């Protein structure tokens, strides 16, 4: 048996049992793909992150991410959780680490204020799809039980990505957003047709102080019925808002805003987003969040890394 250090960490909050929970194993060397998938299934968080030693001198560590059913290339809240765990475990101080992910090597910064850490993650290149075909948009609205009139007319339905794509859907009202009860089977079927597993629904209709957007995220095709607070949705959201003129950068060329998510399922949290804009286009996208350790324990796995079937 080999012993691994296991954390449960809530990201985008300082309050235990709020925000987005992630499992983190900080010493994952030696675990097979099958063992990592089984651990993620057992923990049953939307994602579990596995911190591995750097494969070479181009990076400071390697993160792999698993939902309960599959591996995904990158995950915002699990990255925040993994770096927070490492920072607390090693007294890291304020440092930028180069982390290998499924979308390349990304800089992730542990920010130390002397009392606790926040974590800032630079995401991948912002990309935006062509508009969805009408039949796919119609299927999306049907699966979400929405009418075309529920949509904000300023906001086309597009797939946006900074490494892990999401369908961006903007609604006119927070009331409509919070009343949503999607047809998960319909969303899963649509995911296969459009090649995107996540649906981020958001609104600019918010009265919360210091908050620009409220959102909800559904990804039933990868075993996540509803994700509490989604870093890999808020990064693309920042680029989307810039691209369609829904929010404008400050005098220094950077859009800064805070998104709120998770209230509907009792796990509220906040994601702080920065988008560096050049010539009117999103150039660099960062997200930043707080975190809190819910528990830390050890996990013993057979050295063969094969869990009995």
Beta bridge partners of 286: 122, 274
Helix ranges (DSSP H) in the chain: 33-43, 76-90, 134-144, 174-179, 184-194, 231-243
Tell me the torsion sign for CA atoms 140, 141, 146, 150. positive
Residue positions annotated with a catalytic role: 47
Measure Cα distances from 257 to 81, 149, 250, 273 in Å: 21, 27, 11, 5
Other C-beta atoms closer than 10 Å to the C-beta of 143 total: 20
Tell me the torsion sign for CA atoms 96, 269, 261, 295. positive
Q: Which of 284, 232, 229, 246 is nearest to 17 (CA)?
A: 229
Other C-beta atoms closer than 10 Å to the C-beta of 19 total: 30
Q: Which of 96, 123, 147 is nearest to 232 (CA)?
A: 123
Q: Which of 28, 34, 72, 32 is nearest to 54 (CA)?
A: 28
């Amino acid at each position: 048996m080999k012993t691994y250090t296991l954390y449960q960490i809530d990201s985008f909050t300082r309050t235990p049992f709020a925000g987005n929970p992630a499992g983190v194993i900080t010493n994952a060397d030696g675990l097979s793909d099958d063992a990592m998938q089984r651990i993620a299934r057992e923990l049953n968080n939307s994602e579990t992150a596995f911190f591995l030693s750097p494969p070479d001198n181009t990076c400071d560590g390697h993160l792999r991410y698993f939902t309960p059913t599959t591996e995904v290339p990158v995950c915002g809240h699990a990255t925040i959780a993994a770096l927070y765990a490492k920072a607390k475990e090693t007294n890291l101080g304020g440092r930028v680490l180069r982390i290998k992910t499924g979308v390349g090597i990304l800089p992730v910064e542990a920010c130390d204020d002397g009392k606790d850490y926040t974590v800032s993650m630079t995401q991948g290149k912002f990309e935006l799809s062509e508009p969805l075909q009408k039949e796919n948009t119609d299927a999306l609205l049907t699966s979400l039980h929405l009418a075309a009139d529920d949509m904000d007319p300023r906001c086309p339905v597009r797939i946006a990505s900074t490494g892990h794509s999401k369908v961006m859907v903007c609604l006119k009202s927070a009331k409509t957003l919070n009343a949503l009860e999607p047809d998960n089977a319909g969303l899963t079927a649509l995911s296969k047709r459009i090649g995107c597993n996540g649906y981020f629904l958001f609104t600019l209709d918010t009265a919360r102080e210091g908050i620009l957007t409220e959102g909800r995220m559904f990804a039933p095709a990868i075993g996540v019925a509803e994700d509490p607070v989604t870093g890999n949705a808020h990064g693309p959201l920042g680029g989307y808002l810039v691209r369609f003129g829904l929010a404008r950068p400050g005098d220094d060329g950077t859009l800064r805003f805070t998104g709120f998510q998770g209230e509907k399922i009792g796990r509220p949290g906040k994601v702080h987003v920065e988008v560096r804009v050049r010539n009117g286009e999103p150039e660099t996208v960062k997200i930043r969040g707080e975190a809190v350790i819910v528990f830390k324990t050890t996990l013993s796995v057979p050295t063969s890394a094969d869990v009995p079937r």
